Copies of this chain bind each other. A is one copy, B any other.
Amino acid sequence: MTQTSPVGRPLRPRGKLLQEDTRRHHRSLLLQQLFREGPASRADLARTTGLTRVTVSDLVGELVSGGLVEELGAPAQSRVGKPPTLVGLNADSTHVVGIDLSATDRMTGAVVNLAGTVRARHELPLDGAVGAAAVALVHRLATELIAMTDRPVLGVGVGSPGVVDAAGTVIDAPNLAWTDTPLAASLADALGLPVFVANDANTAVLGEHTFGASGDGGLMVLRVGTGVGAGLILEGSLLHGHLGAAGEIGHVVVDPSGDRCACGRSGCLETILAVPHLRRRLAGHDPVEVLTRVGEQLGAALAPVVGTLNLHELVLSGPQELLDGPLREAADRSIRERTMPVSSAGLVVRTSELGEDVVLVGAAVLVLAGQLGVS
């Protein structure tokens, strides 16, 4: 049973939605409220969601029976009269499998609970697997992860390099030699579970938005690894772009007189910032000087983006020892020097508290969003 990825757009007109999916929509409203704001009484839920108390009681009853939601008793400090019973998400009632395919030497995975906490980890070495062999390795990793939890598994999420369409087909991922590879469909068939696949940078920004220490303004997660790519959440929604290629900034030319790039051009952002290039540049040089210069170049490239989007948060995701120090500080300073205060006053440039887990946790968010309507 293939599921449409939550990164796809709704296909049905709104009126149809009202007729068919009202109950499902109301259920998501309740779950989203409990997910975002924590335990609440039924009366509070009715107030904050705008649903009637009868509808709330009915749906909460169903969710408690199903195990997703649990009765928590009365709060310690209650008002006059009979204290209301609180209900909350039962974070370990069901688990989610998240898989990160962005590393070049291995595939990593985790069992994640509904609160975004990693409960178990597992990884398999890639050993140069490409094509069908790489697909088989994802199948094996998913199967082994599912066996690592005794809870029901809500679904499997995968963050993949390359361009991924809304149905979870990997259109093009050169490192894995995948072209039009229906990864979500094949996994769903094999596992009998809902499967969601999205681009790794988009997956990372969903993880950071939902479980990182992120605010509600515009968020850009810049992934720095073998390549460089970004995921963006603007006005609360993942940005796809015209042809699904939003965030593809690794091969934007930032220094036409710079190093030759594998893509054929010179001075692409990757030739400056990607980890292999960065490490080569650091060898035998003053690291502070090198990282500061790279940060300045990154800041110059991102200043027009920050000015255009009035971003709230720019998160650098990758090796902390390279990114979190002179590089981040120089990028931050350079962006502020090159934009108006109105654009950069509210900007935070930081690394992710989720560290290297951001794609794994984001892959879990794909499932939570797709299956429960929460994120």
Binding site for B on A (CB under 8 A): 9, 12-19, 22, 25-26, 29, 48-52, 163, 217-218, 220, 230, 232, 234-235, 237, 239-254, 256, 263, 265, 301-305, 307-312, 337-340, 342-343, 345-347
CB pair B342 A50 closer than 8 Å: no
CB pair A242 B18 closer than 8 Å: no
Known: A232-B308, A239-B234, A243-B345. A339 touches B16 (CB 8 A): no
Q: How many copies does the complex hold?
A: 2
In the assembled complex, the CB of A37 is this many whole angstroms from the nearest CB of chain B, namely: 12
CB pair A305 B308 closer than 8 Å: yes
Contacts of A50 in B (CB 8 A): 12-19
In the assembled complex, the CB of A28 is this many whole angstroms from the nearest CB of chain B, namely: 10
CB pair A342 B49 closer than 8 Å: no
Contacting A241 at CB < 8 Å: which of B29, B218, B244, B246?
A: B218
CB pair B310 A244 closer than 8 Å: yes
CB pair A310 B342 closer than 8 Å: no
CB pair B26 A230 closer than 8 Å: no
How far, in angstroms, from A337 to B251 measured CA to CA in the complex?
10
How far, in angstroms, from A119 to B216 measured CA to CA in the complex?
42
How far, in angstroms, from A342 to B171 measured CA to CA in the complex?
12
How far, in angstroms, from A286 to B265 measured CA to CA in the complex?
30
